[in-house]
Amino acid sequence: MKQRVSIIGAGNMGTAMALVLAENGYDVKCWDFDEKVVTDINEHHENKIYMPGLCLPKSIGATSDIKKAVYFANVLFFSVPSQHLRTTLRMIPKEDLNYEIIVNCAKGIDLKTGQFMSQIVEEELGSHAHEVIASLSGPSIANEIARKNLTAVMISSKNEQVLTFLKEILENNYFRVRTSTDIIGTELGGVMKNIYSIAIGLSDALFNSTNTRALLLTEGLAEMAILGKQMGTTKSVFYGLSGIGDLLATCLSEESRNYRFGTYLGKGQSVEEALKAVQQVVEGYHATKAISKIAQKYKVKLPLCENMYHILYSGKNPKTTLMKGL
């Protein structure tokens, strides 16, 4: 039977994943709360808000009724901002769900509970979700995927059968999939790289120095591995796509919202002004607070992360604080 896939959240990444799946021959239903996004996809075959000018195939449809999206598919991709994932999951009817696999694409940590996205999905959707949840991470800038630039991602799950299935439905000549059973390590890399992307953007605006950029990238990767070790993850996961791969892509791309946020700060804008200027959710802003709390819990020192926390939440001067103690 032909697989049917629903994408919950038709933003940049949700649209990119819909395109990959449609390219591979699957029927895709996108859910979004924004009626304009839904109308544009259905009537104009274009997501004018998030990917203007890109023609979407007719095999991609959209709805603002989350029940219709969920009942349409046996594979669900969640691509909503991390701080909205729990609320979105609570909109889904728990009765008679026929999903076989859930894939989380959000990179974040719940600020209130410190939970990773896979843990939130399991908690909200029940015991069955524990068996079928997967997380997608790695260097995957959505607009580049949509342009069919060669991309490889990391998908992690505790279930080997889930990994085999997702690799089969997602891979094509421009979208490659690597797999891991270290789901928390994979998610941790996807969260922390956003913090360091802000730092790189800030540094580039202040100093425009390759030496400084290299220092921050190295420090960021080291902090991922240090915290991951204390949390029981595998060290190797940080030297793959969901660690150094995602770190490089997010820190060196001007399309990255976290990088742009950092550059606005470096040009003298306040945190509030910079957040507004990006016009999208800046995951690294929230991740900085969450990771700082986790580092305290595990009694780990992360100097660069702490410096970014003081810049973003304590009003410290970016130029004098960014490099302090490195």
pTM to 2 decimal places: 0.90
Quick: pLDDT tens for 137-170. Answer: 999 999 999 999 999 999 999 999 999 999 999 9
Q: Taking residues 217-227, what's their average pLDDT?
A: 97
CATH code, domain carrying 45: 3.40.50.720
* Domain end among 129, 146, 181: 181
Q: Are residues 161 and 42 in the same domain?
A: yes
Residues in the chain: 326
| Residue 326 within any structural domain of the chain | no
**Model confidence at 267: pLDDT above 70:** yes
Residue 119 burial (CB count, 10 A): 18
Residue 163 burial (CB count, 10 A): 19
65-69, 100-104, 126-130, 164-168: lowest mean pLDDT where?
126-130
> What is the chain's mean pLDDT, rounded?
94
CA angle 240, 246, 249 (to 5 degrees): 130
Element (H, E) at 29: strand 27-31
87-101, 253-267, 286-300, 304-318: lowest mean pLDDT where?
87-101
pLDDT given at position 258: 95
Quick: pLDDT tens for 55-84. Answer: 999 999 999 999 999 999 989 999 998 889
Q: Are residues 139 and 44 in the same domain?
A: yes
Of 18, 20, 14, 17, the closest CA to residue 32 belongs to 14
Between 94 and 290, name the one with better pLDDT.
Answer: 290
Query: Domain containing 206: what range?
Result: 185-321
Give the span between the Cα atoms of 180 and 183, in whole angstroms: 7
Q: Are residues 14 and 159 in the same domain?
A: yes
Catalytic-role residue among 29, 58, 68, 193? 193
pLDDT given at position 2: 64
Element (H, E) at 155: strand 151-156
**Model confidence at 99: pLDDT above 80:** no
Give the span between the Cα atoms of 107 and 250, in whole angstroms: 12
Is position 193 annotated as part of the catalytic site? Answer: yes
Q: Taking residues 212-220, what's their average pLDDT?
A: 97
* Domain end among 124, 154, 181: 181
* Domain end among 144, 159, 181: 181
pLDDT given at position 96: 61
Of 53, 52, 50, 2, the closest CA to residue 28 belongs to 2
**Model confidence at 182: pLDDT above 60:** yes
129 pLDDT band, cuts 50/70/90, is confident
pLDDT given at position 127: 67
**Model confidence at 1: pLDDT above 60:** no
Q: Are residues 209 and 132 in the same domain?
A: no
How many domains does the chain divide into? 2
Quick: pLDDT tens for 8-33. Answer: 999 999 999 999 999 999 999 999 99
